[in-house]
Structure 1
């Protein structure tokens, strides 16, 4: 069998995950819509991660913690997860206090070395 050449650029999977911009105080009634948006982004893009830019959410509080926990749950049920961009340090402390841990953009994943870090080798060490 032979196939004709396709016009245009070949399909390439995107390396950058989709970004969801969260701004302003989010009300409890808006949370289901944001969860639907996370699921939709994962489904449409085929990505495994949605970056949630939360720099504009305002002061951290339990409402923000609830929103992020529900977004993570929605993402996990859809086969993905969320990653936080530009979190307030006070929010990270609050998340830690309530026992929630999120991946933050720019942090290395557990078990991975930080970018640009090389292991030191002694000149007399045998090659493994």
Structure 2
């Protein structure tokens, strides 16, 4: 008996808000046609100019997959800009790109954001 294959959804181009319901419907059709699929692989390598609409589309696709019984999305080929947006809105750890893992987080003592010195306009002391 052959092992079930994942369902594969390819997302490309610049996504608009009007395209999101169609993408979700396409995913529902894909899953209805592949009832033995154990996962949904979402190929994002063709996405251009990702923005918050793209993030919304991915979140809604993940919800659609789960609603239809799949465990969610496994992202592939996520452009760096989109990966940064997913991290920014708190979905980076939930929506891992299995084809290009994130670098491990840095320890708190090695972070460089912020400042420890006085800021212009501040008194600089307590």
Q: Give yes or no for TM over 0.5.
A: yes
Q: Distance in 2 between matches of 1:85 and 1:35?
A: 18
Identify the residue that residue 94 of structure 1 maps to in structure 2: 85
Does 2:83 match 1:82? no
Does 2:25 match 1:32? no
Point out where structure 1 has 5 or more consecutive residues left out of the alignment: 1-10, 109-128
Over the aligned positions, Cα root-mean-square deviation in angstroms equals 1.8
Q: Distance in 2 between matches of 1:38 and 1:24?
A: 17
Superposition map of 1:1-128 within 5 A: 12-14=2-4, 16-46=5-35, 47-80=37-70, 81-100=72-91, 101-106=94-99
Q: Under a length normalisation based on structure 2, what TM-score does the superposition of the two structures give?
A: 0.68
Q: How many pairs align?
A: 97
Q: Distance in 1 between matches of 2:98 and 2:48?
A: 19
User: Where do 4+ consecutive residues of structure 1 move more than 4 Å?
Assistant: none
| Counterpart contact for 2:76–2:100, Cα < 8 Å | no
3-state SS of 2:78 partner: coil
3-state SS of 2:18 partner: helix
Q: Distance in 1 between matches of 2:43 and 2:100?
A: 15
Q: Under a length normalisation based on structure 1, what TM-score does the superposition of the two structures give?
A: 0.67
Q: Distance in 2 between matches of 1:50 and 1:89?
A: 21
3-state SS of 1:33 partner: helix
